[in-house]
Amino acid sequence: MKILKFGGKSLSFDGSFSQVLEIIDSKVQVREEFAVVVSAISDTTDVLEHLLIQASKGLAYQELFEAFKNKPQHQGLDLTSSFDLLEKIFEGVFLLQDYSLKVKDEVLAQGELISAQVLTHHLLKRGIEAHFVDARKLVVTNANFGNAQPIEQVSKQRVASFFNGNVPKGIAVITGFIGSNERLETTTLGRNGSNYSAALFANYLEAEEVQNYTHVDGVFTANPEWVKDAKKIAFLNFNEANELANFGASILHAKTIVPLLEKQIPLRILNTQNPNGTGTLISAAPTPEGIKSLSVQSNVALINFEGRGLLGKVGIDARIFKTLSNHNINVGVISQGSSERGIGFVVPSDRASEAVVALEQEFEIDFYNKDVNKICINEEVVVISIVGQELQTFHKPYNALIRNAIVPILFNNTVTGKNVSLVVEKSLTKKALNVIHGEIFGVHKKINIAVFGVGNVGKQLVKQILAARENLQRRKEVNLNIFAVANSKKLLLASDGIGSAWESNLALSTTENSLELVYNYAKEHHLENLIAVDNTANASLVASYIDLIGRGFDLVSSNKIANTQTYSFYKQLRHQLVKNHKDYLYETNVGAGLPLIDTIKLLHLSGDNITKIRGVFSGTLSYLFNTFTSTDLTFSQVLKQAIASGFTEPDAREDLSGADVGRKLLILARELDLENEWEELAIENLISKDLQDLTVDAFYEQLSVLDPIYEQIKRDQEPGHVLRYIGELSGDLQQRKGDLKTQLVSVPVNSALGQLKGSDSIFEIFTTSYGDHPIIIQGAGAGAAVTARGVFGDILRLISKK
């Protein structure tokens, strides 16, 4: 014989009820021998409890009760006995404005009694022989109303006698959740009671298997409604299932496992809507070791007990837990401060106030003597348990949480060392689950990216990410999800990614660009592994970097402003990065896609003394002077070509001022821990003062004014020399500050700088180890695609650290 258990959602009339009939019918057709145990239909238990509470408060309940009686599932059969009993109870409770647990059990029991009658009725209508079985006549319990325990021998004898005796023909449809005590008073079996009933009947009848039909395909590595990448677990052994049940798995309960474990009866978790699925099989068969699943206990509260005057006193813990035990209050996760000065522990949320009152009474004298400071409750917490997690690898999920600005309030591990429980803020539950799950189970790690600035570089970056996304998922198990893109005015948000039509969607968006909206969206959608990418030249966004870091974002930026602000801001930004365990990468600040900053960092950290850095830092100025000195074109003609080709900023004077080269030079200086400020740079502006204050159009009309100036500079060079606009960092770089200057120079055509072509950049790094032979880094130093590729590289570097 098998025991089939159907849960409340499976029996819902607007859901799976017809499928339940199909499942039973199909088993009848192949002549399987089985009995059925049912829960109350859908939300019946909640409705009955709500009606009871309404009546106890003296509030109107009659209309709600009539609506309950007229539900579709109650039509076509005689439920008068249940409805009359409920009406009498509600009337009495309304008058007394109070009720006992005994009364509550009688009310809630009607849910299962009605459910079993409804299913029996519809099976008979379908031509399937079936009979209703009231479990109160079979399962005898103690008188602990609300959480009664079966009296095993008596219950077992009654069940065996019933099924071995002159039992009616057809399928037994048994009420779950309920029993009766020796005085024939109705009792309930507590949380998960219907599943417990199924396990008890399986044990008493020595069933072949229990099939528990639910609304999910089995036991998953996490709640699939919260973690999209959760995977079904095909097999669990009883010990693993018991651990999952103990740590709050929603479709398992520890007391359900025990009767099955005793007789080694397999339990199969199946989906009513997917009856042909294999589900999860729980049995005595061994399974591979390792982390099995994440479970959540949400109906808990954290009690903090602090007593500075208890330092060195022995027995405080004993008093705490004895007091709670005397009040029958279970204690979960426990974490203790040093020398018994403080202790935190988790209790059921509905018992938290009672626990505090009991402890205040026990420690009344200690409060008076000021040995105990406070006992307080935090109800905004959950317990996340990693079942199968060993301590030696716990640093991986823990560090992932910290990187995502989720700091566990406390944690502990079991004596076996193979289960770790964390207490976290309730508002962070889904995000924490996704972070831990992604770290542990090796599924696609989701990286959520917000892109600010979608001009030339930003647009190229988005295209590159979308193009590479599938390949990264396949090869690196990383899912790059751009959940936000913003230009200067508008914002586009999409929790599952912006898609290829993002440009038109952004143009049609009515959402104004707002960092606060991005923050709130990420929080509401529990997005983990956040990266903010700044492709703007916006100082106001830079001013929000510290806020972004505090909100859990790592930073990637092609925007140079942050690294060339005051030195105090530069240091403050680094302090916040360390404090919040965040990273800030900006390789493209100086060399576009060239690996310049990384190289300098490594040289500096390795202890090699960098003595000088010199080079052509600007791709625009590189193109300008490479072309001007190697052709007969005038300076203004070359400049117009550069403007037409998009090599310059909209106002070319921004490039010609030398300020961009100066910013890059200052960034490198700070990578060497130099404390130079912007004002200390010597920058040669290539535009005379009389042209600096003109409008852009007026300036472009007078470009020819520059021709005689630069023609003369070109003629004045020594033979075999060419013009280059360079930046140079020199001086004693072991001191607090170095010498930083940008200038137009003439260099030999056969030198490294002189041989530069097109719009390439080149950097010479002189060190003590390399002497007169500098390290040379050369390549494309400008262009949207190149810079975007460098930004993408920084994103990938960040991911490798996660």
Residue whose structure tokens are 């009993």: 85
Nearest to 612 by CA among 472, 776, 380, 747: 776
- The candidate with the shortest Cα–Cα distance to 198, out of 216, 223, 161, 172, is 172
What gap in Å lies between CA 223 and CA 130, rounded to an integer? Answer: 35
Instruction: Of 305-309, 369-373, 575-579, give the lowest mean pLDDT range.
Output: 305-309
Mean pLDDT lowest among 202-211, 403-412, 479-488: 403-412
Could you give the CA distance from residue 470 to residue 687 in angstroms, rounded to a whole number?
Answer: 48
Residues 6+ apart with CB under 8 A from 132: 116, 117, 120, 173
CB of 431 closer than 8 Å to CB of 758: no
Who contacts 402 (Cβ-Cβ below 8 Å, separation ≥6)? 581
Asked if 424 contacts 434 with a C-beta cutoff of 8 angstroms, the reply is no
Distance CA 86, CA 99 (A): 13
pTM for this prediction? 0.75
C-alpha span between 228 and 241 (Å, rounded): 22
Spatial neighbors of 211 by CB under 8 A, at least 6 apart, are: 2, 3, 4, 5, 268, 270
Mean pLDDT for all residues in the chain: 92
Radius of gyration of the chain from its Cα atoms, rounded to whole angstroms: 36
Percentage of the residues of the chain whose pLDDT score is greater than 70: 97
Residue 106: predicted pLDDT: 97
**Neighbouring residues of 340: CB distance < 8 A, sequence distance ≥ 6:** 307, 310, 311, 312, 313, 314, 316, 317
Confidence check: pLDDT of 414 > 80: no
pLDDT value at position 156?
96
Judge whether 234 and 281 are in contact, CB under 8 Å.
yes
Whole-angstrom CA distances from 526 to 222, 294, 327, 522 are 15, 17, 38, 6
In this predicted structure, what is the pLDDT of residue 339? 43
Tell me the catalytic residues: 664
Could you give the CA distance from residue 717 to residue 746 in angstroms, rounded to a whole number?
Answer: 7
H-assigned helices in 492-614: 502-508, 515-524, 539-542, 545-550, 567-579, 588-591, 596-605
- What integer is the mean pLDDT of 746-763? 94
Place 338 in a pLDDT band, splitting at 50, 70 and 90: very low
Residues 97-107 pLDDT 10s = 999 999 999 99
pLDDT tens-digit series, residues 144-180: 999 999 999 999 999 999 999 878 889 999 999 999 9
Taking Cα atoms as reference points, which of 377, 388, 374, 459 lies closest to residue 420?
388
* Model pLDDT for residues 637-689, shown as the tens digit of each residue: 999 999 998 788 889 999 999 999 999 999 999 999 999 999 999 999 999 99
Residue-wise pLDDT tens digits, 697-725: 999 999 999 999 999 999 999 999 999 99
Residue scoring higher pLDDT (262 or 252): 262
In sequence order, the β-bridge partners of residue 171 are 130
Q: H-type helices in 363-501, by residue range?
A: 364-368, 395-403, 429-440, 456-476
Sorted by sequence, the CB contacts under 8 Å of residue 728 that are 6+ apart come out as 612, 613, 614, 665, 739, 740, 741, 742, 743
Whether residue 475 is predicted with pLDDT greater than 70 in this model: the reply is yes
Residue 490's Cβ-count burial label (10 Å; 0-12, 13-18, 19+) is middle
Categorize the per-residue pLDDT at 341 as very low, low, confident or very high, splitting at 50, 70 and 90: low
| 410-423: average pLDDT | 80
Residue whose tokens read 């479709």:
251
The per-residue pLDDT for 310 is: 65
Strands 130-133 and 34-38: unpaired
- The lowest-confidence range among 87-101, 296-310, 535-549 is 296-310
